[in-house]
A and B are shown apart, each in its own frame.
Chain A
Amino acid sequence: MAPLDTLLAGLARERSTGALLVGRAGTVFLDEGRVTYMECVQTPGVERLLTARGRSTEATLRGMQADGGCERLLAEGVLTLGELQYCVLGAVLDAAFFLLPVGGTRPKFRPGERHWLGGRWYFEVSGLLRECARRRAQLARIWPSAEVDTAPVRPAPWLTGQGVTLGRVEWEVVARADHKATPLDLARQLGRSGYSILLAVRRLAAAGLLVPREEPAPAEDPRLPKRSRQAVKAPSTGGSTGPPLGPAVTADPTDLALLLRLKKALEELA
């Protein structure tokens, strides 16, 4: 089965108009081969962003969708054309970032279907793919481990240094984090794009402001060598009660996190 991006590239070449349903994960709307709108169940759409920011209510938006559509939304001054374009731009790129890697479902194409908020800003399929790749690279540059993207966000109870500067989204993440919500949960709650929350979480992780994940039993992780467990235990079975002199040679996830942080620190020095 062809991955989603090749499928989209094909639809772009044929200058198709319609909706590509990607199972229950989301939908891509195209107009003459250009993307006009994209939805992903994991990320907040334009309607959610509008209601979360108090610009409108769900009922009003539903009413407008049924009668008058996008024209009425602009005419009644809920938001300006520039704002709508910017909002659609953000929502579509965010959906693309999470939807395009999805596999395993057979997408269905429904010709002719349009989204009521589409058609105000057009995306070339190639441009979308390039931007998604750039965003992935940017995340990796900030903090190389993707583990924090899906784990519950758990801010550290204390600072390792004397002070820290937080950006706006980072502040919102720290203020809202309840040690259970994952970054995408927080995005929905805060009405922010999933990607902006991922950026914030990776920045927090890079600054050492997140509690490292609880150590999972290494034996359960097939990627790690089996003997690592014994290596951890070795110092304590040696009879000494104090901490071992020098670190034990292990391949534990906590050590990996430390190594990644070290690597980043060294890269910054270079």
Chain B
Amino acid sequence: MLGLDDCLIEVMAIPGALDAMLLDQTSGMAVAVSGSPQGVDTEGSAAALTETLRATVDGLARSCPGDTVRIDDMLVTTDQGHHLLRLMETAFEGPLVIYVRLDLERSNLALARHRLRAISSSLLT
């Protein structure tokens, strides 16, 4: 059974992972952080990432009429790397979000997504 801290260690074991964070989507708070890069304000980036997710849900709600939007994961690729967000529904508040930044060259997206799915299911069941 995984705790929140162990879960981040597992995430960082994904090939190409540069840094990772657990976010509470409702409050916009960083729950746990692993090896955040220099010069990054954790609090600010947690708040910004959850706002990004909120905006995405709002946008999708507009573009998929007749659906209630439920995002499983979200991928943003920049010229520097991949940013992968995995949303986990919990019994309480949430969703709880795993955020991981991946190296553009050294990572395998399919593998990373697969591993995130496995980690989130072992965290919550």
Contacts and interface: CB of A to CB of B under 8 A. Distances in A.
Contacts of B27: 90, 93, 135, 138, 193, 195-196, 199
Nearest to A80: B1
Contacts, number: 78
B3 A81 contact: yes
Given A83-B91, A85-B4, 20 more contacts: A49-B91, A74-B1, A80-B125, A82-B3, A83-B92, A86-B24, A86-B31, A86-B90, A86-B94, A89-B4, A90-B93, A131-B29, A134-B29, A135-B29, A138-B27, A165-B58, A192-B93, A193-B27, A195-B27, A196-B27
A82 B88 CA distance: 12
B121 to A, nearest CB: 10
A193 B57 CA distance: 21
B124 A165 contact: no
B13 interface: no
B43 A134 contact: yes
B91 A55 contact: yes
A53 B123 CA distance: 18
Contact of B57 (A82, A89, A134, A167): A167
A121 B62 contact: no
A165 B61 contact: yes
Interface string B23-58: 010111101000000000001000100000010011
A86 B92 contact: yes
Contacts of B93: 90, 192-193, 196
Interface residues of B, number: 27
Contacts of A93: 27, 29
Interface in B2-31: 2-4, 7, 24, 26-29, 31
Report which residue of A50, A90, A199 has the largest number of chain B beta carbons within 10 angstroms of its beta carbon: A90
Decide if the interface of chain B is mainly helix, strand, loop or mixed.
Answer: mixed
Interface in A113-141: 120-121, 130-131, 134-135, 138
B26 A138 contact: no
Contacts of A25: none
A89 B1 CA distance: 18
27 contacts: A50-B91, A55-B91, A74-B1, A80-B123, A80-B124, A82-B4, A83-B90, A83-B91, A83-B92, A83-B124, A86-B4, A86-B31, A89-B4, A89-B24, A90-B24, A90-B27, A120-B3, A121-B4, A130-B43, A135-B27, A138-B28, A138-B47, A165-B58, A193-B26, A196-B27, A196-B93, A199-B26
Interface size, A (range): 20 to 34
Interface string B46-87: 010000001001100110000000000000000000000000
Interface in A179-230: 192-193, 195-196, 199
A169 interface: yes
A130 B30 CA distance: 12
A79 B58 contact: no
A53 B94 CA distance: 13
Report which residue of B4, B58, B92 has the largest number of chain A beta carbons within 10 angstroms of its beta carbon: B92
B3 A49 contact: no
